[in-house]
């Protein structure tokens, strides 16, 4: 699989790309190593570089307010965000796996992980805009990932058309709540 062709296919013609994805043999490890790991690095690396440049540009002003953000802290933040993002994709795959049978879909790990790993493609690609913090608002283009997910649900999981909307909403809401709780829990331990 060519990662660039796969990403382009998901952005330009998601229905056809999902059909190809559904037919391919895969395992969770290869999905992560060959696709999620490199693509999830785009917003992490771009965000780190953008934050570093932004911190240097505003360093004098921020230092006057008693705030100092060093490169090491920014690097730690980027690495933590990257790792938590990958963990979030895996958890989301497990949520999809658990919920799909309740909506008439396949509840196997590989189908669920395919949907979880490939759906955030637009979000990861839009992460390049964090390279220049003033353009970070263009990261909203990453919301196209929701459409990519929507198109993949019946093809990869076999969720019937009449249940696709409710399934999509349920998985998004559950994923949001899990991320919110995990973020609050992590916040308890990351305070210094």
Q: Which stretches of the chain drop beneath a pLDDT of 70?
A: 55-69, 186-192
Length of the chain as a residue count: 192
Give the chain's domain count: 1
Rounded to a whole number of angstroms, the distance between the first and last alpha carbons of the chain is 44
What pLDDT score was predicted for residue 89? 93
What pLDDT score was predicted for residue 56? 65
Enter the pTM of the model: 0.87
What pLDDT score was predicted for residue 81? 86
What pLDDT score was predicted for residue 192? 46
Pick from 46, 51, 45, 40: nearest CA to 123: 40
Give the count of beta carbons closer than 10 Å to the beta carbon of residue 184.
9
Give the range of the structural domain holding residue 113, as residue numbers without chain letter.
3-189
The Cα 149–Cα 173 span in angstroms is 14
- What are the structure tokens assigned to 140, written together? 């909203």
The Cα 28–Cα 57 span in angstroms is 41
Torsion over CA: 9, 11, 16, 22 (sign): positive
Which contacts qualify for 119-123: CB closer than 8 Å, 24 or more apart?
119/145, 119/148, 119/149, 119/152, 120/36, 120/39, 120/40, 120/89, 120/145, 121/6, 121/7, 121/10, 121/11, 121/39, 121/145, 121/148, 122/10, 122/11, 122/148, 123/43
Tell me the DSSP string of 4-30: HHHHHHHHH-HHHHHHHHHHS---HHH
Tell me the DSSP string of 37-50: HHHHHHHHHHHHHH
User: What 3-state class would DSSP assign to 186?
Assistant: helix
Pick from 50, 112, 53, 56: nearest CA to 81: 50
Q: Are the C-beta atoms of residues 158 and 115 closer than 8 Å to each other?
A: no
């Amino acid at each position: 699989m060519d990662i660039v062709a796969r990403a382009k296919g998901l952005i330009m013609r998601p229905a056809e790309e999902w059909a190809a994805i559904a037919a391919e043999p895969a395992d969770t490890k290869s999905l992560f190593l060959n696709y999620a790991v490199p693509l999830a690095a785009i917003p992490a690396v771009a965000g780190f570089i953008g934050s570093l440049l932004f911190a240097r540009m505003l360093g004098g002003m921020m230092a006057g307010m008693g705030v100092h953000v060093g490169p090491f802290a920014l690097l730690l933040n980027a690495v933590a965000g990257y790792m938590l993002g990958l963990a979030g994709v895996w958890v989301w795959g497990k949520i999809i796996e658990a919920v799909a049978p309740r909506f008439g879909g396949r509840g196997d790990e590989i189908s669920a992980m395919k949907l979880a790993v490939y759906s955030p493609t637009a979000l990861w690609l839009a992460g390049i805009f964090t390279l220049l913090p003033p353009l970070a608002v263009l990261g909203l283009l990453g919301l196209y990932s929701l459409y990519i997910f929507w198109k993949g649900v019946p093809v990869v999981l076999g969720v019937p058309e009449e249940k696709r909307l409710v399934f999509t909403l349920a998985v998004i809401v559950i994923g949001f709540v899990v991320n919110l709780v995990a973020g609050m829990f992590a916040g308890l331990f990351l305070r210094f």
